[in-house]
Amino acid sequence: MYKILVLSLLVFTSVIHAQVRKYSNEFLNIGVGARALGMGNANVASVEGVNSGYWNPAGLLKQKNDLEVGLMHAEYFAGIAKYDFVGVSKRIDSNSVAGFSLLRFGVDNIPNTLDLVDANGNIDYNRVSTFNAVDFAALLSYARKIPQLKGVELGGNFKIIRRKLGEFGGAWGFGLDAGAKYHYKKWTFAAMCRDITGTFNAWSYNLNPSQIATFQQTGNEIPSSSLEVTLPKLILGASHTALFWKDNLSVLGEINLVNTFDGMRNTVIKSNTWSMEPAFGVEIGYKGFIYLRGGLGNIQKQLNDRATLYVTTVQPNFGVGVKYKIFTIDYALTDIGDRSVALYSNIFSLKIDINKKMNK
């Protein structure tokens, strides 16, 4: 008990001296796997296998294979930003599964014009270079079934974050996630708490004198070393599966309630300290071979073009999937919610199931 109190005090003290950001480490909120993205990110209850390390580590226990490998690539804003995911999960025994996930979100080849003007005030385009703004996250996941608690599955993540802005600066961070599932008949209820102790990013910068002078001359704030914290987010979910046509046709529906506690957001339900955003998804499968998906997510309140009236915007999502032998290929088409064709994204993901060879 004493150790828990000391740990809580240390975390609380760190939060006091850190900058609490409403939108911090946002690349970790994009999602992984075209199945989940096609269902509007409503996935914490129904997720199973390797992608569970991201959505809800408790879902690792529903892995049907000894080893699973997951891959995904996505591009946003006409290919300017690239997002990649690779994950591996391994069954340890009948009651536990471990996993590892690696995510990268990056904008590459950004022009660096800080040194465009030389010491004599001359513009020299040969002084223009490029740099990358890249975010990495590594998630170490573990899930365990509790035999004494029938239908209950628990899981957790330890995550390491590396954010880098070329040679100018970067941050190292760490955090913890915790997830749980409860199965009752054809229902599954889930809770996923991200950044349960707060996720801390320690930023440091490395600017030379000429770059600092450029910031001052252009009226920009000179960045300094700092510590920022991402507050916890609680996602509650429920899913239900129904079977039809001699069990050849399956229909799965899921609802998630995303709760944040970092101040008022433009969500459908909000207060000064708490905001809630719903997400809905559905998946129709035929003989466990082909799947059709749809979902509604990112339901927000935002000002119209004249900035005179708040309107509700919704991100529509659509997806399909095919499972053949050890391969599952999923596709999702998503939009950021403004109904602009130019901002639709095509997302593909692959899952590979690997089982042990039996000794003869």
Number of structural domains the chain divides into: 1
* Dist CA 75 CA 84 (whole Å): 9
* Dist CA 212 CA 222 (whole Å): 7
pLDDT-derived band of residue 20, with 50, 70 and 90 as boundaries?
low
Q: 96 pairs with which residues across the strands? A: 93, 144
Round the average pLDDT of the chain to a whole number and report it. Answer: 86
> What pLDDT is stored for residue 18 in this prediction?
54
* Dist CA 105 CA 197 (whole Å): 24
pLDDT one-digit tens code per residue, 230-259: 999 999 999 999 999 989 999 999 999 999
Report yes or no on 205 lying in a domain: yes
Q: In the predicted model, is pLDDT for residue 341 greater than 80?
A: no
Q: In the predicted model, is pLDDT for residue 343 greater than 50?
A: yes
Residue with tokens 């046709």: 249
Write the DSSP string, 38-90: HTTT--TTT--GGGHHHH-GGGGGG--SSEEEEEEEEEETTTTEEEEEEEEEE
> What pLDDT is stored for residue 162 in this prediction?
96
* Dist CA 145 CA 191 (whole Å): 15
> What pLDDT is stored for residue 216 in this prediction?
77
Inter-residue contact 183 to 151 (CB < 8 Å):
yes
168: domain CATH number is: 2.40.160.40
* Dist CA 126 CA 123 (whole Å): 9
Who contacts 29 (Cβ-Cβ below 8 Å, separation ≥6)?
A: none
Report yes or no on 132 lying in a domain: yes
CB atoms within 10 A of CB 322: 12
What is the domain extent for residue 158?
Answer: 14-354
> What pLDDT is stored for residue 7 in this prediction?
35
Residues composing the chain = 360
Q: In the predicted model, is pLDDT for residue 5 greater than 60?
A: no
CA atoms within 13 A on the CB side of 26: 4
pLDDT one-digit tens code per residue, 302-312: 776 666 667 78
Report yes or no on 7 lying in a domain: no
Who contacts 257 (Cβ-Cβ below 8 Å, separation ≥6)?
A: 235, 236, 237, 276, 277, 278
> What pLDDT is stored for residue 15 in this prediction?
43
pLDDT-derived band of residue 336, with 50, 70 and 90 as boundaries?
low
Mean pLDDT of 126-134: 87
> What pLDDT is stored for residue 214 in this prediction?
72
What are 286's two structure tokens? 């035929």
> What pLDDT is stored for residue 16 in this prediction?
41
pLDDT one-digit tens code per residue, 178-191: 999 999 989 999 99
Report yes or no on 287 lying in a domain: yes
Write the DSSP string, 182-240: EEETTEEEEEEEETTT-EEEEEEE---HHHHHHHHHTTPPPP--EEEEEPPEEEEEEEE
* Dist CA 47 CA 36 (whole Å): 8
Per DSSP, 256 falls in state E
Share of the chain above pLDDT 70, in %: 88
Q: In the predicted model, is pLDDT for residue 128 greater than 90?
A: no
Report yes or no on 38 lying in a domain: yes
pLDDT one-digit tens code per residue, 39-62: 999 999 999 999 999 999 999 999
Inter-residue contact 196 to 176 (CB < 8 Å):
yes
Q: 322 pairs with which residues across the strands? A: 290, 329
Write the DSSP string, 278-325: EEEEEEEEETTTEEEEEEEEEEEEEE-TTSSSEEEEEEEEEEEEEEET
Q: Hey, what amino acid is at 28? A: L
Report yes or no on 6 lying in a domain: no
Report yes or no on 4 lying in a domain: no
Report yes or no on 2 lying in a domain: no
pLDDT one-digit tens code per residue, 65-114: 999 999 999 888 778 889 999 999 999 998 999 999 999 999 998 888 87
CB atoms within 10 A of CB 304: 10
> What pLDDT is stored for residue 117 in this prediction?
77
